[in-house]
Amino acid sequence: MTETITLGDIPIEVMRKNVRNVHLSVHPPDGRVTLVAPRATRLEVARAYAIAKLGWIRDQQAKLHAQAREAPRRFVERESHYLWGRRYLLNVEERESRPGVRIDHKRITLSVRPGSDREKRAEVMHEWHKRLLHDAVPPLIERWEPRLGVRVSAYHLQRMKTKWGSCNPSKGNIRLNTELVKKPKDLLEYIVVHEMLHLVEANHNERFIALLDECFPGWREARDELNSLPLSAENW
């Protein structure tokens, strides 16, 4: 069951789970606030805890709101695009052939039919991004399955507004944000491991944090780097 408390102009989602301590989080990209508390916690106690952390909440939200955001992509000549953390300039070719994308050491070349609009160009680029992720993700899953002692039944790629990934432990599925193709590959690996660990422990509790510390000691640095990189400007 989820309840909401409001501190001034800040709504906070309160969830009670099988945890020992209270966990307060401010989530990118928009600064959404959640508070996970032990099941027996009264709402008044949760509110008092949040009030005590109000300064920290506002500080975290201010950092997110000040975070760099990509300019809206128009998919035009010499526009900057990112792939695996590296900046490339876009080259656009209009020709009567099947649309596609290719890359060299300096440029990403987008081939489209004459008159293609921004939406069509974005669609071609997004399909290319998904193909790159389909090449990158399975080896990571295969590498980590024996280490974590889990089996991923399927993974899915999609655009996500507020999460880098998610997991459905009951089905053994993980879901990954296609924006990850723009970030360094080690950050993609961190998200894959994070979501796979939810097949071991579904909640963000002390056990989950201990497992992350054990198998991916640099996860905090990876999380901070990921959340400091430019956010997408797309409004999908």
CATH number for 210: 3.30.2010.10
Whether the Cβ atoms of residue 180 and residue 186 lie closer than 8 Å to each other: no
What pLDDT, on a 0 to 100 scale, did the predictor assign at position 229? 66
Looking at the structure, tell me whether residues 139 and 46 fall in a common domain.
no
Looking at the structure, tell me whether residues 116 and 193 fall in a common domain.
yes
Looking at the structure, tell me whether residues 147 and 61 fall in a common domain.
no
What pLDDT, on a 0 to 100 scale, did the predictor assign at position 236? 30
Looking at the structure, tell me whether residues 168 and 122 fall in a common domain.
yes
pTM, to two decimals:
0.74
Q: Which positions of the chain have pLDDT values less than 50? A: 233-236
Looking at the structure, tell me whether residues 33 and 103 fall in a common domain.
no
What pLDDT, on a 0 to 100 scale, did the predictor assign at position 231? 56
Looking at the structure, tell me whether residues 134 and 221 fall in a common domain.
yes
What pLDDT, on a 0 to 100 scale, did the predictor assign at position 65? 74
Q: From CA 32, how far away is CA 103, in angstroms rounded?
A: 36
> Is residue 133 in some structural domain?
yes
What pLDDT, on a 0 to 100 scale, did the predictor assign at position 233? 46
> Is residue 235 in some structural domain?
no
Q: For the stretch 88-100, what's the b/e string if a residue is b when 16 or more beta carbons lie within 10 angstroms of its beta carbon? A: bebbbeeeeeebe
Q: Which domain holds residue 149?
A: 80-228
Looking at the structure, tell me whether residues 18 and 94 fall in a common domain.
no
Q: From CA 5, how far away is CA 15, in angstroms rounded?
A: 11
> Is residue 185 in some structural domain?
yes
What pLDDT, on a 0 to 100 scale, did the predictor assign at position 235? 36
Which H helix or E strand runs over 100? strand 100-103
Whether the Cβ atoms of residue 232 and residue 81 lie closer than 8 Å to each other: no
> Is residue 161 in some structural domain?
yes
Looking at the structure, tell me whether residues 115 and 201 fall in a common domain.
yes
Whether the Cβ atoms of residue 41 and residue 70 lie closer than 8 Å to each other: no
> Is residue 57 in some structural domain?
yes
Last residue of a domain, one of 17, 33, 66: 66
What pLDDT, on a 0 to 100 scale, did the predictor assign at position 223? 87
Domain count along the chain: 2
What pLDDT, on a 0 to 100 scale, did the predictor assign at position 70? 64
Q: CA-CA distances (angstroms) from residue 33 to 14, 176, 204?
A: 9, 21, 15
Nearest CA to 202 among 13, 5, 15? 15
Looking at the structure, tell me whether residues 173 and 96 fall in a common domain.
yes
User: What does the block give as tokens for 153?
Assistant: 């039944």
Looking at the structure, tell me whether residues 97 and 214 fall in a common domain.
yes
Looking at the structure, tell me whether residues 56 and 117 fall in a common domain.
no
